[in-house]
Structure 1
Amino acid sequence: MRDLKEYTIPFIGLKLGEHHFDFIVTNKFFEHFEYDEFINTDIKLDVLLNKKTTLLEFTLDFKGDVGVHCDVTNEPFQQPVEGNYHFIVKFGEEFDDENEDLLIIPHGSYEVNIQQFIYESIILSLPTRRVHPGIENGTLKSDILDKLEELSVKAQNEDIESQEGTDPRWDSLKKLLNDK
């Protein structure tokens, strides 16, 4: 996979100390990684680079919204996403990215690409189950929700009990529970 040039930070001419970089992450960024679960993306990313004599410290702070589909109803909604990630870049004999919080780049390097760290930190900050906020507060009206409610086990059990009444065998078992 090729590197995206806009997420490559040249550090060779920078003075020691803190440096800020601002990015806007859009769907084009995620398409580069062949990740197509987002409808639209608008994430503001602030990168803080603290350059020291023997290493580089990066802190990624991001906040924004991604358009996703609800896992229950498949209705689209805007999922807020925010978080931060801290990692260190050191210099060594050869490139090594085995450790998730430490990147080793060869001596003589003059720039570092942080696109993989951005991608992973945003994806991992999303909830594993994406539920439309309208479902949680009861304001979402959807045909799928109506059908799910109709087909739920609880609704079917209530229909059976209302049609037949309760089974007398269960009544005698319930008495055993109450006789404690």
Structure 2
Amino acid sequence: GTVNVPCDVSGEEFDLPIKGKLKLLVKFGDAFNDENEELLILPHGEFQVNVAQYIYESIILSVPLRRVHPGVKDGSLSDVIEKLESLSPKENKKEEQQNNDIDPRWENLKKLLTDK
């Protein structure tokens, strides 16, 4: 199926195709029991099963952690990518000069912290 999700890079919503399997075994028993993920026990005489929660969990687990719009991958959303690059933080040249002007004794002290 497909799920409409927002892109993690651009924020644009898109339809993400997903695949998943749901294995649920339903048996009859003395009392209702859904403690096991793959086994659902229904009391004798029941004739309906609500599988909405099982389907929802299957869909949620099928969606990848990082969702990237296909337009970002193939470059068709170049205007969004250009805007993101223009808004990205840039390093100050003054900070670079200050880092270069550090007393060498302080550099040796910093090495002591990283040598643990």
TM category (shorter chain) comes to 0.5 to 0.7
Report which of the two has the higher share of helix: 2
1:113 offset after TM fit, Å? Answer: 2.8
* CA deviation profile, 1:100-157 (whole Å, cap 9, x unmatched): 21111002223323222222111221112322122234332234x333312334xx13
The aligned residue for residue 10 of structure 1 is: none
* Aligned residue in 1 for 2:29: 92
Unaligned runs of 5+ in 1: 1-63, 174-180
Normalising by the residue count of structure 1, what TM-score does the alignment of the two structures yield?
A: 0.46
For 1:136, give the aligned amino acid: K
What amino acid sits opposite 2:34 in the alignment? D
Structure-to-structure mapping, 1:1-180, within 5 angstroms: 64-143=1-80, 145-153=81-89, 156-157=90-91, 160=93, 168-169=100-101
- How many residues of Structure 1 are paired with residues of Structure 2 in the alignment? 103
Which structure's residues are more often strand, by fraction? 1
TM-score, length of structure 2 as denominator length: 0.67
Letter in 2 for 1:151: L
Partners of 1:168 and 1:128 in 2: how far apart?
Answer: 39
For 1:168 and 1:110, locate their aligned partners in 2 and report how far apart those are by CA, in whole Å.
Answer: 76
Which amino acid in the other structure matches residue 109 of structure 1? E
In structure 2, C-alpha distance between the alignment counterparts of 1:129 and 1:74, rounded to whole Å: 12
Matched residue SS, 2:85: helix
Identify the residue that residue 113 of structure 2 maps to in structure 1.
Answer: none
Q: CA RMSD in A?
A: 2.8
Greater RCO (CA < 8 Å, at least 6 residues apart): 2
Distance 2:21 2:88 in 1: 40
Q: Which secondary structure state, in structure 2, belongs to the residue aligned with residue 148 of structure 1?
A: helix
Please give the alpha-carbon distance, in whole angstroms, between the structure 2 residues aligned to 1:69 and 1:168: 42
1:96 CA drift (Å): 1.6
Question: In structure 1, what is the Cα distance between the partners aligned to 2:70 and 2:85?
Answer: 17
